[in-house]
Structure 1
Amino acid sequence: MWILALDASLARCSAALLCDGALRAHRLLEGDRGHAALLPPMVQAVLREAGVRPADLDAVAAVVGPGGFTGIRAALALAQGLALAAGLPAIGVTTGEALAAALPPAGRPVWSAVDNRRGRVVLERFAAGAAAPEGPPAVFALADLPAPAGPVALVGDAASQVAEALAARGAEAVATESRQPDAAAAARVAALRLAGRIPGLAARPLYVEPPAVRLPATV
């Protein structure tokens, strides 16, 4: 089962090709700009490296958010175009799912904390060992974070801030090294979704809040 996965949801751009659970090709670049131009050659590179054509794939996946408006749209537009042209399913993976999938198995819940750049964080919360979140993402100010029921591992670009805020209230929270999602981890989540082992998710943008835009000044 061949799965092509794309991610450009935060400050990284990546493409990965997974076959029956094995990573066959991978490209990754750090940075939060230029994703729309970077992703197509990365996709060409991973397909060429593995000797695979789009028609040989079983599915195309993309990280749908939470995250940056432009990067999410770039990855999804490319994934949907490839899937439509080859008659393949397009699978969505949340940012938190990709971040959590990059961790080794552990016996504690995982919270994905993404900085929304407006002074708040977006949380996705996972039960211990779960590949899918317990509910939809929710936005919190650091002062209003919910109290975890026990020790929790934190992933995402706001993991350090959330760990400090929770520790100040006496909670046991550890910021892990999984700070930016990667298409390789997203592909593993997509494989679970394609096999029906976790609930389905459409390859459509997951926006928790409206995009931050500035209206033009009136004349």
Structure 2
Amino acid sequence: MKVLALDTACAACSAAVLDGDAIVAERFEAMARGQTEALMPMVSAVMEDARIAFDALDLVAVTTGPGSFTGVRTGLAAARGIALGCGAPVAGVTTLEAVARRALGRLETRPPVTLVALTTGRAELYVQRFDAGGAPLDAAAAVLPETLAAALADGRLFVAGDGAERLREIVGTEAGCSFAKGPGLPHAAEVARIGAARGAAAARAGGPPQPVYLYPPRAIPPAAGRGLAP
């Protein structure tokens, strides 16, 4: 299976191509802004590196959030446009699952429970728990990090994601849990692997992926009769 995967949902932009069981091309760049401008040149680069034509793709995979409102929409729009042009289905993968699977894949011994925590740009963190195989144990939620202190005392818990450092600061070095190394952001290479494992048929049957928002957008429409504030 040939898969093109994209991620622009959080504080990075990445694209990757999977051919069979191998990632044959990938690009990743951390960035707080600018994903809209960076994505398509990155897609062109990985497709050229992989030497795969767009019409040879079997699947396009993309992160669906939670993340920034603009970033999620950027990735979904690009994935749908590419898929429409090449006739491939689109598979959606949450940012939290992508981070969980990548962190677990780097471990020799997998913990029974992994907590993924992603920053939101607000006081809360996006969090979700996953089992040793990377399957979700509960629904994603936006919570204040202080509310997780009791759970972090559990020595079986493994914490991943770019919000992990905030949790480490709260519980200190005496916490019983362990923390993943690395930036803890979604990566298109993992999105490609997850999409391929689910298969093109499942993506077609499931229909177009929908964005995952745990907050409403921050944009506030102007009051009637008033223009936008500068």
TM-score range, shorter chain: 0.7 to 0.9
Residue 208 in structure 1 maps to residue 214 in structure 2: yes
User: 2:64 aligns to what SS in structure 1?
Assistant: strand
Q: Distance in 2 between matches of 1:152 and 1:178?
A: 19
The one-letter code matched in structure 2 to 1:206 is V
The one-letter code matched in structure 1 to 2:147 is D
Deviation at 1:88, TM superposition (A): 1.1
TM-score by length of 2: 0.84
Deviation at 1:196, TM superposition (A): 8.5
| Matched-pair contact (CA < 8 Å) for 1:63–1:94 | yes
The one-letter code matched in structure 2 to 1:122 is Y
Q: Which has the larger radius of gyration?
A: 2
Residue 123 in structure 1 maps to residue 127 in structure 2: yes
In structure 1, the partner of 2:166 is 161
Deviation at 1:156, TM superposition (A): 1.4
Q: Gapped runs of 5+ residues in structure 2? A: none
Q: Gapped runs of 5+ residues in structure 1? A: none
In structure 2, the partner of 1:6 is 6
Aligned residues: 216
CA-based RMSD = 2.4
Q: Distance in 1 between matches of 2:3 and 2:126?
A: 28
Q: How does 1:1-219 map to 2 (within 5 A)?
A: 1-103=1-103, 104-105=106-107, 106-108=109-111, 109-128=113-132, 130-145=133-148, 147=151, 149-167=154-172, 170-194=175-199, 203-216=209-222, 219=226
| Matched-pair contact (CA < 8 Å) for 1:113–1:159 | yes
Q: Distance in 1 between matches of 2:214 and 2:49?
A: 36
Q: Distance in 2 between matches of 1:189 and 1:44?
A: 22
| Matched-pair contact (CA < 8 Å) for 2:89–2:200 | no
| Matched-pair contact (CA < 8 Å) for 2:118–2:163 | yes
The one-letter code matched in structure 2 to 1:142 is P
Residue range with higher mean Cα deviation, 78-87 or 103-112: 103-112
**Residues 143-198 of structure 1, C-alpha deviations (whole Å, 9 max, x = no match):** 2126155422222111111233345895424243241111111111112222789x
Q: Distance in 2 between matches of 1:110 and 1:42?
A: 31
TM-score by length of 1: 0.88
| Matched-pair contact (CA < 8 Å) for 1:65–1:207 | yes
Residue range with higher mean Cα deviation, 168-177 or 7-16: 168-177
Task: State percent identity of aligned pairs.
Answer: 37
